[in-house]
Structure 1
Amino acid sequence: MSNRISNKKELSSEQREELLAVLKSRFEKNRIRHKGLEWSKIQTKLEANPEKLWSLDDMEITGGEPDVVAYDKKTDEYIFYDCSAESPKGRRSICYDREALDARKAHKPENTALDMASAMGIELLTEEEYRTLQQLGDFDTKTSSWIITPSDVRKRGGALFCDRRYDKVFTYHNGADSYYAARGFRGSLRI
């Protein structure tokens, strides 16, 4: 799923069909995540939003295994989350945001969670969204994922992350400039 069309956030017809097949297969294999939703309606929305398909492709390429987890009736939007068992491999070893990266004097990571999410056209999960995801399965049992951090915590240099251990979901804090091989981020996308 590479060789995208120029710098536009658009996939070729072949890439689009390949991605839709992957998403449909995942949708059918994980019906517990989206009871009562129909793939045909989701596919129609996806086909009408090529820039969103591009974002989903980025989620897929980086190991997120995006899947539909909800439908928002008020906004008429389907909600996709990264549903990979562990934090997406292509999004690990990154600090929280640009301010944290710029503040590091040595051993800087290559990127930040917020910068990557922005470039991909997705949002980091909030703590509430992360806990909702964990109701659909056991995620991050060996890894952890950065989540949206409240501004009062971030102003003090911290950032929040979550994981699942001992069959419980935990929210922790760390310096926003920290990064680990087992910590990445999970994203959400509304279509």
Structure 2
Amino acid sequence: MASKNEITAEQREALFKALKARFEKNMNRHEGMEWASVQAKLEANAGKLWSLNEMERTGGEPDVVHYENKTGEYFFYDCSAESPKGRRSLCYDQAALESRKEHKPANSAVGMASEMGIELLTEAQYRSLQELGNFDAKSSSWVITPAPIRKLGGALFCDRRYDTVFVYHNGAESYYAARGFRGSLRI
């Protein structure tokens, strides 16, 4: 049996099968990359497989979107059409969660990402993802919020409407059924 941050052999096999199929179906997201190289990197970094599996399990449909030549790292982003269903109805961070007196959500986006071993997308990462397809046409996703905005109680989220990517603000303690977060994982 696998420990908390490990996956079973069966989970590993299912994850690799799903990732390979998604990789091959969406070559526009990673032109010039080969699955064999990605798989070798994954096999050499087994500790990250649990986080990648959590991205998959919560509906993120992770896929490779970038390769960093300097570090030799592959970047996986959540590529589900809408904000991952298993990561919605969350306020922004722990401070926002603690500030709610009633009707608290189950968790915060920053907290859940940390538990999963991933990071929220930045606004720039979100915009680069949107260049690869149309995401969040009916939902929205929290993104990393600059400290000055967060200090004043706000948080940022993004979505795509009218064929345009929008960045909005809301109170960090707010949460909605159609707002979740997209994550990134470097391997």
Q: TM-score under structure 2 normalisation?
A: 0.99
- Aligned-pair CA distance for 1:49: 1.2
Give structure 2 stretches of 5+ with no counterpart: none
8 A Cα contact 1:11 1:50, kept in partner: no
Shift of 1:6: 2.3
Q: Does 1:160 align with 2:156?
A: yes
Q: 1:22-79 deviations in whole A, cap 9, x for unaligned?
A: 0000000000000000100100110111121110100000000000001000110000
> What do residues 125-161 of structure 1 show as CA deviations (whole Å, max 9, x unaligned)?
0000000000000000000000000000000000000
1:5 to 2, 7, 25: 2
- Whether 2:101 is the aligned partner of 1:105: answer yes
Unpaired runs of at least 5, structure 1 = none
Match of 1:42 among 34, 38, 42: 38
Cα RMSD of the aligned pairs, angstroms, is 0.7
Which one of the candidate residues 166, 170, 183 is aligned to 1:170? 166
Aligned length: 187
Q: Distance in 2 between matches of 1:49 and 1:57?
A: 13
Corresponding residue number in structure 2 for 1:61 = 57
| Counterpart-to-counterpart distance in 2, 1:160 and 1:179 | 12
Q: Is the 8 A contact 1:69 1:80 kept in 2?
A: yes
Contact in 2 for aligned 1:97/1:115 (Cα 8 Å): yes
Corresponding residue of 1:78: 74
Q: Describe the SS at the equivalent of 1:159.
A: strand
